[in-house]
A and B are shown apart, each in its own frame.
Chain A
Amino acid sequence: MSTSSNDTRALLDVRDVSKSFGVVQVLRSVSLQVTRGEVVTVIGPSGSGKTTLLRCVNFLESYDSGSIRIDGKEVGFRDPGTRQRRSERDLAAMRAETGMVFQSFNLFPHLTAAGNIMLGLRKVRGKSEAEARSIAEHWLGRVGLAHKADSLPAELSGGQQQRVGIARAVAMEPKILLLDEITSALDPELVGEVLAVVRSLAEDGMTMLMVTHEMAFARDASSRIVFMADGGVSAVGPPKEILAAETTNERLRTFLARFRASHF
Chain B
Amino acid sequence: MLTQIAYALPFLAQGFALTLWVSLLVVVLSLIAGVLLGVGLVYGPVPLRWAVRIFSDTIRGIPILVLMFFVYYGVPAIGLHLPSFWAAVLALTLFKTAQVIEYLRGAVGSIPKGQSEAAMAIGLTFRQRLAYVIFPQAFRRFLPPWINGVTDAVKGSALVSLLGITDLMQAINQVIGRTYEAMPLYILGALIYFAVNYALSLASRRLERRFSFIRE
Interface residues of A, Cβ cutoff 8 Å to B: 58, 60, 88-89, 92-93, 95-100, 102, 104, 106-110, 119-120, 123-124, 152-154, 168-169, 172
B151 to chain A, nearest CB (A): 27
Q: Is the CB of A120 within 8 A of B126?
A: no
Residues of B within 8 A of A88 (CB): 125-126
CB pairs A–B below 8 angstroms (7 shown):
A60-B121, A95-B123, A108-B137, A119-B132, A152-B213, A154-B215, A172-B123
Complex CA distance for A96 and B123, rounded to whole angstroms: 4
Residues of B within 8 A of A106 (CB): 112, 114-115, 117-118
Q: Is the CB of A92 within 8 A of B125?
A: yes
**Residues B106-157 near A (CB distance < 8 A):** 112, 114-115, 117-126, 128, 132-133, 136-137
Known: A109-B213, A110-B137, A123-B124. 18 other contacts (CB 8 A): A58-B120, A58-B121, A60-B120, A93-B123, A95-B120, A102-B114, A102-B121, A104-B114, A106-B112, A106-B117, A106-B118, A108-B115, A108-B118, A109-B137, A110-B136, A120-B123, A124-B128, A169-B121
A119 CB contact (under 8 Å) in B117, B122, B126, B214: B122
Which of B120, B128, B136 lies at the interface centre, i.e. has the most chain A CB atoms within 10 A of its CB?
A: B120
Which of A92, A104, A152, A168 lies at the interface centre, i.e. has the most chain B CB atoms within 10 A of its CB?
A: A92
Q: Given that A89-B125, A96-B123 are contacting pairs, would A110 and B118 also be in contact in the complex, using a CB cutoff of 8 Å? A: no
Residues of B within 8 A of A169 (CB): 121-122
Q: Chain B at the A interface: mostly helix, strand, loop or mixed?
A: helix
Which of B112, B120, B122, B124 lies at the interface centre, i.e. has the most chain A CB atoms within 10 A of its CB?
A: B122
Complex CA distance for A107 and B120, rounded to whole angstroms: 12
Residues of B within 8 A of A168 (CB): 122
B26 to chain A, nearest CB (A): 30
B213 CB contact (under 8 Å) in A58, A107, A110: A110
A88 to chain B, nearest CB (A): 5
Residues of B within 8 A of A58 (CB): 120-121
B124 CB contact (under 8 Å) in A98, A109, A124: A124
B179 to chain A, nearest CB (A): 54
Q: Given that A109-B137, A123-B128, A123-B132 are contacting pairs, would A100 and B213 also be in contact in the complex, using a CB cutoff of 8 Å? A: no
